[in-house]
Amino acid sequence: IIWQHIMQLKNFIVKSKILDDDLCDEIVKDSKDWRWEKHTWYSHNDDKSTHSHQEKELDVVCVPNIPKEINDKLLLGTESLWRLYQQILPSLLCESEEDSKPMAGFNMIKFWSSVRLNRYSQKTLMRSHYDHIQSLFDGNIRGIPILSAIGALNNSSDYEGGSLKFWDNYEVNLNKGEILMFPSCFLYPHKVEEVITGKRYTFVSWGV
């Protein structure tokens, strides 16, 4: 019964080839000169960010260390997939084709967060989690993450390991230029398994 529910949940995970390969290659090449830092996790209990796996933490780079033109291009790609997501969402939410008419003005996303680049080198990973992103609740713009977007900047053939999995065993393969979109809530725990060889480059953004 649980697996049947998961099979229904997977229908809300959507991916599409959005980004140009040359753009992805350019970003990966130029990012080597950007300021990378170790990924941290925010703890609600301790009210601070810490490393979860120490030496296994991936590297990340965020705005303002990502050039604005790159950030904007990646967000345009994310917006493009969001428009596709809007088109198919009514049919997913309705039980019959008769009910699945386009919803006038259906737009629950006010804005997409600035992108963050992820670099998974050998022996790094992302533990299982769901996207309750603390930083989106701070600052001048506030909101609860509704949708998550993950974009691949290189091919899965460039590295071994590094599988993206939901619910521990549902794997989604992402190749260069593809963007994945899914709900950010607790129903969608996901992880990236340890990279054995090579490097895995992705970017992420959250819609609120």
pLDDT at 105 over 50: no
133 or 15: which leads in pLDDT: 15
Quick one: which H or E segment has residue 38? Answer: strand 37-38
CA dist., res. 58 & res. 192, Å (int): 10
Q: DSSP character for 112?
A: B
Q: Tell me, rounded to whole angstroms, the distance of Cα 129 from its chain centroid.
A: 12
User: In this predicted structure, what is the pLDDT of residue 19?
Assistant: 98
Average pLDDT (86-113) is 70
pLDDT in tens, 58-96: 999 999 999 999 999 999 999 999 999 998 887 777 655
1 pLDDT exceeds 50? Answer: no
Helices and strands, counts by H and E, the chain? 3, 15
pLDDT per residue as tens digits for the range 141-176: 677 899 999 999 999 999 999 999 999 899 999 999
Q: Is the pLDDT of residue 52 over 70?
A: no
